[in-house]
């Protein structure tokens, strides 16, 4: 069941979202050739704690780290490790913050050093698909309207849309109803209502959309080992349209 949030609850989530956006921005600056993903995880946790929040992912469903760090063909939920980032990698940073009892969730894809033209295009298309999806997050539209807009745009650009993973509601729990797929039919699914807080998160592949478990046994990667990209924001459905809660004003 979808949980509607009050204006006060949305304000708390927005405050946590600012913390999250600030931390992600710092991690993006740090993601250079020569650093390990485990170092990024430690930095993420230290920064979150310094702002008065808690890492939302650490311990969630057994996940032992604060940051999900997924490189190249790895899509989401990757374990930070001693892997040293190198020039040409594309890195997915997925992070959550628990602040005053409420969660926020955000992801970006970072180009490490100089990346290929196609990798840049993959990242740009994924990021734009998120923006298009957010524009559809209006009262009276449906979840299918969001998924249809995101999925059609991605596929029109020649990329694959991951279908086995999706966005979600968020609040006191990291994952709440409803599920927000990145594909779908217009006019189908739950109608969006004022007070809903959701995460839209396109996951896009350069090749086939099918996925498999990563080598760490927890995350997911592309089945054909093609590159992948991932962007995510937490947003509120309001009478004045969608409001992104995981960004710095």
Handedness of CA 39, 44, 246, 26 (dihedral sign): negative
Which of the residues in the chain have pLDDT under 50?
none
Report residue 114 as tokens. Answer: 């100089």
SS3 string, 150-187, reads HHHHHHHCCCEECCCCCEEECCCCCCEEEEECCCCCCC
CA dist 238 and 194 (Å) reads 5
Q: Could you report the per-residue pLDDT of 62-78, keeping only the tens digit for each?
A: 999 999 999 999 999 99
- The pLDDT value recorded for residue 66 is 98
Q: Are 73 and 228 in contact (CB under 8 A)?
A: yes
Instruction: Catalogue the long-range contacts made by 7-13 (C-beta closer than 8 Å, 24 or more residues apart).
Output: 9/102, 9/171, 9/197, 10/195, 10/197, 10/236, 10/238, 10/243, 10/245, 12/99, 12/100, 12/101, 12/102, 13/99, 13/102, 13/103, 13/104, 13/170, 13/171, 13/197, 13/234, 13/236, 13/245
Q: Could you report the per-residue pLDDT of 223-236, keeping only the tens digit for each?
A: 999 999 999 999 99
- The pLDDT value recorded for residue 217 is 87
Whether the bond between 178 and the residue before it is cis, its omega within 30 degrees of 0, is yes
- Tell whether pTM > 0.85: yes
- The pLDDT value recorded for residue 239 is 97
- The pLDDT value recorded for residue 201 is 98
Q: What is the CATH number of domain 7-244?
A: 3.90.230.10
Handedness of CA 20, 26, 29, 33 (dihedral sign): negative
Mean pLDDT of the chain: 97
């Amino acid at each position: 069941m979808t949980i509607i949030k009050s204006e006060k609850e949305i304000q708390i989530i927005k405050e946590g979202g600012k913390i999250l956006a600030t931390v992600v921005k710092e991690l993006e600056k740090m993601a250079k050739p020569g650093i390990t993903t485990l170092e990024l995880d430690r930095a993420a946790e230290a920064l979150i704690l310094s702002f008065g929040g808690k890492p939302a992912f650490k311990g969630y469903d057994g996940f032992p780290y604060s940051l999900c760090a997924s490189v190249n063909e790895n899509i989401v939920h990757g374990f930070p490790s001693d892997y040293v980032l190198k020039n040409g990698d594309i890195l997915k940073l997925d992070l959550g913050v628990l602040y005053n009892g409420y969660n926020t969730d955000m992801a970006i894809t970072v180009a490490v050093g100089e990346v290929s033209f196609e990798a840049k295009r993959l990242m740009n298309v994924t990021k734009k698909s998120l923006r298009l999806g957010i524009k559809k997050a209006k009262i009276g539209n449906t979840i299918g309207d969001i998924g249809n807009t995101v999925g059609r745009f991605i596929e029109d650009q020649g990329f694959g849309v991951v279908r086995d993973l999706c966005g979600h509601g968020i609040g006191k729990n990291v994952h709440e109803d409803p599920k927000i797929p990145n594909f779908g039919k217009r006019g189908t699914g739950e109608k969006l209502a004022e007070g809903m807080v959701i995460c839209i998160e396109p996951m896009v592949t350069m090749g086939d959309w099918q996925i498999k478990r990563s080598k760490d046994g927890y995350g997911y990667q592309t089945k054909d080992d093609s590159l992948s990209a991932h962007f995510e924001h937490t947003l509120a459905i309001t009478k004045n349209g969608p409001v992104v809660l995981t960004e710095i004003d």
